[in-house]
Amino acid sequence: MTGFSKVAVFRQDMPPRGGYSPIPWARVPSRRIPLWPFVSLWFASNIFGYFYHMSEKREYWKNEMEMDESRSCVEPLILAEQDRIVLRQYRANRDEETKLMKDVPDWEVGTWFGEKVFKSQMEMDESRSCVEPLILAEQDRIVLRQYRANRDEETKLMKDVPDWEVGTWFGEKVFKSRTYFPDRPHVLDYYGLARPSTQRLDINASQWQI
């Protein structure tokens, strides 16, 4: 066989002597991290935090007690200084009014031609007590007038319905009285037949409530 290479002899690959190593097919368990370091750290941090908190708490209340004592000592001086500033401003207002109204005959400083302008709290309370019955009476008058308008409107609207009784639903009362607040009517009772524009206007203006 001149000019040709020798034909390679086929050789079957065989396992090594003793065979192949076993294939790992079983599940490999994960490595478990021990918990005792974390539990120990948690206990140590809690114990340290508790004692640190107690020490800081004692220091905090010590400072608060000292501040309260200081505030109690300084408070009379602060109140006196506030009163002094207020009186000084009153004095400046009086002097300015005296200078401004010096050419007005019979002018008394602090009054409006002899009538006191600035009232004390007692005078304001007495004035409010005197005027309050009139305000309540006016409030009741407005409410009753609106009820009368609602009744007249319902009478006009339901005049063609047989056996219709004004203020009821075929004889059954619809609007109930309020036990706890009889002087404050419900908004649906008050604006039962009113226009939405009138309702919004009255609610915004608060014409019938104090």
pLDDT score, position 53: 93
Same domain, 80 and 133: no
pLDDT score, position 146: 79
* pLDDT tens figures, 161-209: 888 888 777 777 766 655 444 455 666 666 666 667 766 766 665 544 4
pLDDT score, position 57: 92
Same domain, 132 and 55: no
pLDDT score, position 148: 84
* pLDDT tens figures, 164-176: 888 777 777 766 6
pLDDT score, position 206: 56
Same domain, 196 and 126: yes
Same domain, 105 and 130: no
Same domain, 114 and 128: no
* Number of domains into which the chain is organized: 2
pLDDT score, position 5: 57
Beta bridge partners of 168: 173
Same domain, 105 and 155: no
Q: Which of 118, 150, 172 is the last residue of a domain?
A: 118
Same domain, 133 and 199: yes
Same domain, 152 and 109: no
First vs last C-alpha separation in the chain: 131
- Nearest 5 degrees, angle CA 39-CA 41-CA 43? 70
pLDDT score, position 6: 62
Pairing status of strand 172-173 against strand 168-169: antiparallel
Overall pTM surpassing 0.75 (yes/no): no
The answer to whether residue 96 is domain-embedded is yes
Query: Following DSSP, what letter does each residue of 165-190 receive, concatenated?
Result: -TTEETTEE-SPPPSS-TTS--HHHH
Residues in the chain with pLDDT < 50? 179-182, 207-210
CA distance 117 to 114: 9
Beta bridge partners of 172: 169
Residue 98 sits in which domain range? 39-118
Amino acid at 27: R
CA distance 173 to 194: 19
Same domain, 102 and 134: no
The answer to whether residue 11 is domain-embedded is no
Query: What rounded mean pLDDT belongs to the chain?
Result: 79
Amino acid at 77: L
Same domain, 129 and 200: yes
The answer to whether residue 145 is domain-embedded is yes
Beta bridge partners of 55: none
Chain-centroid distance, C-alpha 120: 33
